[in-house]
Each structure stands twice: as structure tokens, then as C-alpha cells.
Amino acid sequence: MFLKELSLRNFRNYTDLSIQFNKGLNIFIGENAQGKTSLLEAAHFIHSLQSFRTQDEKSLINISSNDALLSAEVEREGNVINLSVLLDDKGKRVKLNGKKVAKASELLSRLAVITFSPDDLFLIKDLPSERRRYFDKAILPHSPSYLKTCIRYDNILEQRNRLLKGIRDKKRDEEKGLLRPWDEQLVEEGTRILFKRRSLVEQIRPFLEKIFQAISRDNKRPILIYETQLLPAEALSEGNVVLRCSEAAEQRKTEADIADKVKGLFYQLLEEKRKEEFRYGYTLVGPHRDDFQFSIDDQRAKTTASQGQHRMIILALKLSEAVLYKEAFGEYPVLLLDDVFSELDEIRAEALIEQIHDMNIEQVFITAAKKESIPFSNKGCSFYLIKEGTVKPYNS
């Protein structure tokens, strides 16, 4: 998969841009506030219909215009696809090969992108809700129906919380019996979410460790941990046999057994927390209370790891996600790395590029302030100079 061409009209500081890209490493050089990050943001937006920098989509439109147009030409398995998004005060209008798309989800699988931004470093120290949101998004390429599961769960949770709040505020004891149907739905959808998250963590773990050690030039061992009160002890063990059974039938049987235990534990905890829920007026048990944590050599990264180690963990996570995508779909996503070298020493910067080369990712975009900061030769690289919303080949 690779992004052949990108055209932008009135997107950020790009009033009129059309540029073709090469396979391999595409390096964008430019001073601050010239448009480097905005170029990557545009590719990310076409991929996800979301910015990785802001939730205010109106700010993406150039101040001199009322709308912005983004279009891309993508090559996948020999086929060329045209994607476009018109953004204005009415929202987003999406086209695929020149035809309007009724559902935005039809566009989401056409260009796969994994983006690293310096803001991602806050993932380690941020609120649990941000980590849940991040990993839930990471599941979607592998299980598109997971989005509907999450929406159903959120709706159930909202209705259950509304009932609990009514019982608390208005002393409606007679409505306590109405919780049971919501309990059943919460357990069913919550268990599905829990198993998807658990599966993702188990798949990421071995790649995270291997890639972290490669790019950090360090033998320290990072671990991604899924923290939940709903998994029985045998399902949390690091050597989980459930995901490593050679017999599919046995695996399904074991998974079903654990699912039954999870549901039983879910119901048990709901009963134990019932009085507290009546007192507080909201749901205290479920995957909306779970968290994801990183550790290095059994020490919490949040409190003990250095800023440099945080960066290595997040970069290793992004590359692990790329590997999982390749295993699932037979090709790598486009990798976008914004300002990735700013806090890496020369050894780790070289190790990162070496890892990308070893993985043989088809297309990578990297931004940097100076060409001299790129720790490799010009071989296999395409350099571009970005200045005041213009992009041109950079040969000097």
C-alpha cells in the first residue's frame, strides 16, 4: 500500500497543493510552522476522517476560505483508488472514486495509516479514558464490528446510569428491579469488549518487546498490561494458553469457559457494588473502568521510566501495530512519523531507521527541521522542502 498523490485545497496553510510521493522513505524538511505536520495531518485525515491534532475541524480550513478539499490517490495490490473529503461548516462529504459515499466507514479501510505524533507520549501518563480510546481504535481495523459493540455498550451504560441516578435522587426504590435487564445487556456487550481488548494486548506483547529492544539498543523488557477486575486469574497469566492452543476446537472451548467465568464474575461484582451504585448514581463495574499500563522490567513506566524510554515505548507500540496489520492483511499501512528524531540520540535514531528498513515497510513519511538530523544516507530516500505551505524536491 502506498499513497501516490495528495492534493490539498485550503487545508491549513496549503491553499493549492498537488504532490506525488515515492515508495520508501519520504522525508519532509522545514522550519517550524511551515506545514510539515499539516501535510501528515492531511494524510491521516483522509485515512480516519479525524485530525490527530485537534477536534475542532473548522480550524483545518484555511482562514481565507469557507471549505477545504483533500484528495488522495492510493495504490493497493495493483489497484488505484481515489479518495476525497470536502470539509465545510456543514461537516464532511466523502467520495470514493468520484462517487458519494453514504457511510464514512466505507472510506476508512481504503487507506491504512499509523501515525506517530509527539503528543502520543502523553498516552503513558494520560487519563485511563484516553488509553481506552486509543486501544479501542487500534482494534477497529481488525474487527470493524467492534465499533457497534462499543456504541451499544455506551448506550446501555448511559441508560443504566440514568436509572441509578433516578433511584438515588428521587428515592425510587420500586425501580431497583428494573436494573436486571440492563445488567444482562451490560454483561453481554462488556464481555465482548473485554475479550477484544485482551486479544489485542496478547498479540502486541511479543512485538512490543522485540521492537523496543531493537530501537532502544537495550535489553530491558517492556510489557503492555490490560488492567481489569473482570478477568479470572488464569486468563491474565502471561503465558496464556488460550491464545496459543494448536487445536481450534479446544481454543474455542477454553475461550467459552473463560467467557462464562467472566460473565459470572461480572454479575457477582455488580451485586457486590449494588449499594455503592445506588449511593453514587453510576455504574462501578465494567470495561469502562479498565485501564492499559506499560511497564519496563516490572516497573511502572508512568512513574519510573525516562522521557526517552516513553518515546521508545510509543514508537515500539506503533511499529507493533504495523506488524499486526501486515499479518492480518498482507501489507503494511503507511507510516507517518512526525518530529520523531527531536529527542532521540544518534544511536537510537539510527536504530529506529534500521528497524524500519528491516521491516520493509512500503512507504514512510518523516518530518524533520534539518536534513542533517536524518541519521542515514540519501539512498532509498526522497527529500522534500516545505516552506510556507509549498512542497518541492529538496536536493541540496
Per-residue model confidence (pLDDT) at position 232: 64
On the question of a common fold for 2-112+333-393 and 129-291, the answer reads no
Q: Is 353 exposed, middle or buried (0-12, 13-18, 19+ CB in 10 A)?
A: buried
**In CATH terms, is domain 2-112+333-393 a member of 3.40.50.300?**
yes
Give me the residue spans of the domains in the chain.
Answer: 2-112+333-393, 129-291
Per the DSSP assignment, residues forming a β-bridge with 367 are 28
Backbone dihedral region of 185: left (phi > 0), alpha (psi from -120 to 50 degrees) or beta? alpha
The set of cell numbers assigned to 40 is 501528515
- What are the DSSP calls for 81-150, one per residue? EEEEEEEETTEEEEEETTEE-SSTHHHHTTS-EEEE-GGGGHHHHS-HHHHHHHHHHHHTTT-TTHHHHH
Give the alpha-carbon dihedral of 31, 37, 38, 42, to 10 degrees. 150
Order the strands of the 113-116 sheet from edge to edge: 113-116, 334-337, 363-368, 24-29, 381-387, 390-393
Per the DSSP assignment, residues forming a β-bridge with 18 are 7
d(CA 54, CA 32): 18
Q: Which residues contact 184 (CB under 8 A, 6 or more apart)?
A: none
The set of cell numbers assigned to 21 is 510521493
Alpha helix ranges (H) inside the chain = 36-48, 105-108, 122-125, 128-139, 146-170, 179-216, 233-236, 248-272, 274-280, 301-304, 307-329, 346-359
Per-residue model confidence (pLDDT) at position 256: 82
Per-residue model confidence (pLDDT) at position 146: 96
- pTM value is 0.92
Per-residue model confidence (pLDDT) at position 250: 53
d(CA 244, CA 119): 35
d(CA 37, CA 368): 10
**In CATH terms, is domain 129-291 a member of 3.40.50.150?**
no
Q: Say what angle helices 146-170 and 179-216 make with each other, to 10 degrees.
A: 130
10-residue averages of pLDDT along the chain (396 residues): 96 96 94 95 95 94 96 92 94 92 75 95 93 96 94 98 91 80 97 96 96 95 94 53 43 76 95 95 96 95 92 97 96 96 89 94 94 71 93 83
Rg from Cα positions in the chain: 23
Per-residue model confidence (pLDDT) at position 243: 38
Per-residue model confidence (pLDDT) at position 156: 98
Per-residue model confidence (pLDDT) at position 165: 93
